[in-house]
Amino acid sequence: MASLKEVKGRILSANNTLKITSAMKMVASAKLHKAQEVIEGMLPYERQMSAIMTHFLQTGGKAESPFATQREAKRIALVIFSSNSSLCGGFNSNVIRAYHQWLDGHAQMAKENLVIYPIGRKIADAVKKSGFTPAGDYTHMADKPNYTECEKLAAELCERFLSGDIDRVELIYHHFKSAGSQELVNTVYLPIDLSAMTEAPDGNRQPDYLIEPSEEVLLAKLIPEVLKLKVYTTLLDSNASEHATRSMAMQIATDNANNLIQDLTVVYNKGRQQAITNELLDIMGGTMA
């Protein structure tokens, strides 16, 4: 059995840990609240932009765009989102696991034909360890989502796709459903599937658009905007998911620290009581002698 001094030291250590995890939980909760407000304000706009394009195509649009060009995927780009710091539960480990599964699925392709855009320090380190050179340094985007940075990244991806340098672009990220639920998503960013958008849902009244100056000009303007918004909302999704998992992880750590303190306090009290009893027995034994 540990001595009273050792038990007391462990209680003090657990108390210090409790203070740290409680503070981190409050900070993560505050950041989550702000991130949740941003994502909940941005997602409807992005979905409405996509809905406008979908409804337009359903009303007889030609559904032609260079961003929808399907070709053999000889060179693939992956944009994958993680965090810059740890202590956020399984957030980063899930992303890194999905990244290695993606690599296994493309093992038949040469390394130079796989282009990786890591958003976040944790996944950037994993990319380097796997023998790949990241396509750029985007670690700063993980902490502070910025539309301008996302616009530049989307423009680069679109330019490389249109030039034929990249045949397909995929995204791996956490989709924020709620504070207690985040879903890891792997989706195709380019080429976009315009044919799926032209399928009108049964029973829905289709809007009648008056298009000026032409359908081609509208698509040429609308699709790049939707693609830029997709990168930004994906980053916001990942950022909100990070804060949610960190808040939950720190809450669990705080609860565990509380339970440990309670258990150690019981052990300390029992040991102290036993020591007092032993001293009383020694005194009584000496008196009787």
- In which element (H, E) is residue 226 found? helix 215-288
Residue ranges of alpha helices (H) inside 59-117 are 91-105
Partners of residue 118 on adjacent β-strands:
80
**Residue of higher predicted confidence among 195 and 277:** 277
Structure tokens at 129: 């360890």
Do 50 and 226 meet the contact criterion of CB atoms below 8 Å apart? yes
Q: Which residue has the higher pLDDT, 65 or 20?
A: 20
Contact 89, 242 (CB under 8 A): no
Kindly report, residue by residue over 54-81, the tens digit of the pLDDT. Answer: 766 655 555 567 888 888 889 999 999 9
What pTM, to 2 d.p., does this model score? 0.83
Map residue 108 onto helix, strand or coil.
coil
Distance of CA 80 to the CA centre of its chain: 9
Assign 153 a pLDDT band (cuts: 50, 70, 90): very high
Question: 86 — phi, psi (to 5°)?
Answer: -100, -150
pLDDT tens digit string along 182-236? 899 999 999 887 666 555 454 555 556 677 777 777 777 888 888 999 999 999 9
The rounded distance, in Å, linking the Cα atoms of 275 and 273 is 5
Name the DSSP letter for residue 85.
S
Specify which residues 117 forms β-bridges with: 79
Pair of tokens at residue 122: 């944790």
DSSP character at residue 216:
H
Structure tokens at 176: 């924020």
